[in-house]
Structure 1
Amino acid sequence: MQTSPEINELAGALAKAQAEMQDAAKDGFNQHLGQGYATLHAVMGAIRQPLAKHGLALVQSIEHSGGEVAVTTRLLHATGQWLESRLAMPVPRQSPHGIGTAATYCRRYAAAAIVGLAQSDDDAGEAGEQPGRLAEQDGIDLERALAGVAGAEDANRLNEIANWCRPRATPAQWQQIHDAATARAHALEA
């Protein structure tokens, strides 16, 4: 990590912004891993207002060379003070989509790390603390969930996906997911 010669004003402002930040909601679903994650949109949504309120801004630049993507993330304060870090990762598929995916992944993790943001863990434990909270959500990305079910390679993966979806899905979504999971389980047994 690199910083401007002084960061006292930035540090104070960041501490105030962090006190107002809510964890980024896991609004995405990785069908290959069968898990939820906070998208770049969720991370930026969680940090944008608290940072701006305290004179902070986040800037990211992307570089691609030698089969890797690097994102430099700089947190700026209205005084001109700054801190910056760089995150690089290999690009598994050298295509525009592969580069974009790696860049988005880097941006998401780097933005969350530089401001100390975590992903919310809205699992069954939290639902127990706030009855009905998850059931009242708008649901999940049904298309992605169904694609995850259809692509499940074994019963364990199928169960992981179903267990992740159940508390997050609306009743109508859950019925479709359950039906698709049942059909996939029968296909896997055959």
Structure 2
Amino acid sequence: MSAKVSAAFVKAQAEIEKASKDKTNPHFRNKYADLGAVVDAIKPALERHGLAFLQKFHHDDKGITVETIIIHESGETLSNGTLNVPASKMDAQGFGSACTYARRYSLQAAFGVAPEDDDGNAASQQQAQKPAKPPAISDERLSKAIETIIAGEYTTEKLRAAFTLTAMQEKKLQAALTESQPEAEPA
């Protein structure tokens, strides 16, 4: 990488913001940042720092292979490598769709552009919404919890909600509870 294109790239990338998710996928009904939104997110910073980009297509019979090249006004260039996207159908529409995807994803990768509320963030939010498995409990702490349960100050429901018990700890809990129950008087 040459010094001029490197220095300008670092400055431009620091200014690049997220791409707006302003389009809706009709199949999945989710929002996404289209190619235009990605270009809009990067172009002002590139212009301020004497940078531009071009996307070169490489021969590919089964899809689209695109290379994003960053160009500095000095003539220095930086290639982001190639990205291959297979065509879903072997017709103009399939290749056109693959072309748009390849160009968008290559630009996002080259400039570190994440869409607003990226799919990864949505997945993280879904993961965060799932109830997490309670932590394990030490045998010493379990013994203290059993004492408070027997004393009527704590419940097994609260214990199981707060901690994950091993099979052996479950047996210890059940045995202690059984032992603590008063024996029935003969009738």
| Shorter-chain TM band | 0.5 to 0.7
The aligned residue for residue 12 of structure 1 is 7
Q: Is the 2:85–2:101 contact (alpha carbons within 8 Å) kept by the matching residues of 1?
A: no
Counterpart pick for 2:99 among 103, 108, 111: 103
Counting only pairs closer than 5 Å after superposition, residues 71-110 of structure 1 correspond to structure 2 as 71-84=66-79, 85-110=81-106
- Structure 1 residues 56-78: Cα deviation after superposition (integer angstroms, max 9, x where no partner): 11101224532121111100111
- Structure 1 residues 69-98: Cα deviation after superposition (integer angstroms, max 9, x where no partner): 111110011122211121112111011111
| Structure 1: distance between partners of 2:55 and 2:87 | 18
The alpha-carbon deviation at position 99 of structure 1 amounts to 0.5
| Structure 1: distance between partners of 2:101 and 2:8 | 26
The alpha-carbon deviation at position 122 of structure 1 amounts to 8.4
1:121 to 2:126 alignment:
no
The aligned residue for residue 145 of structure 2 is none
- Structure 1 residues 5-50: Cα deviation after superposition (integer angstroms, max 9, x where no partner): x422212111211222211011111122232111000000111111
Counterpart pick for 1:27 among 19, 22, 25: 22
Q: Is the 2:25–2:31 contact (alpha carbons within 8 Å) kept by the matching residues of 1?
A: yes
Going from structure 1 to structure 2, the CA distance change for 1:121 and 1:81 (only over 3 Å counts) comes to same
The alpha-carbon deviation at position 102 of structure 1 amounts to 0.3
| Structure 1: distance between partners of 2:62 and 2:56 | 17
The gaps in structure 2 that reach 5 residues or longer are: 122-187
Two-structure CA RMSD over aligned residues (Å): 2.0
Letter in 1 for 2:88: P
| Structure 2: distance between partners of 1:13 and 1:23 | 19
The aligned residue for residue 57 of structure 2 is 62
| Structure 1: distance between partners of 2:70 and 2:8 | 11
Q: Secondary structure at the match of 2:19?
A: coil
Number of residue-to-residue matches in the alignment: 119
Going from structure 1 to structure 2, the CA distance change for 1:104 and 1:64 (only over 3 Å counts) comes to farther
Structure possessing the higher radius of gyration over alpha carbons: 2
1:36 to 2:31 alignment:
yes
After TM superposition, the runs of 4+ consecutive aligned structure 1 residues lying more than 3 A away are none
For normalisation by structure 2, the TM-score amounts to: 0.59
Query: Identical aligned pairs, as a percentage?
Result: 39
Q: Secondary structure at the match of 2:106?
A: helix
Going from structure 1 to structure 2, the CA distance change for 1:122 and 1:116 (only over 3 Å counts) comes to closer
- Structure 1 residues 125-156: Cα deviation after superposition (integer angstroms, max 9, x where no partner): 9xxxxxxxxxxxxxxxxxxxxxxxxxxxxxxx
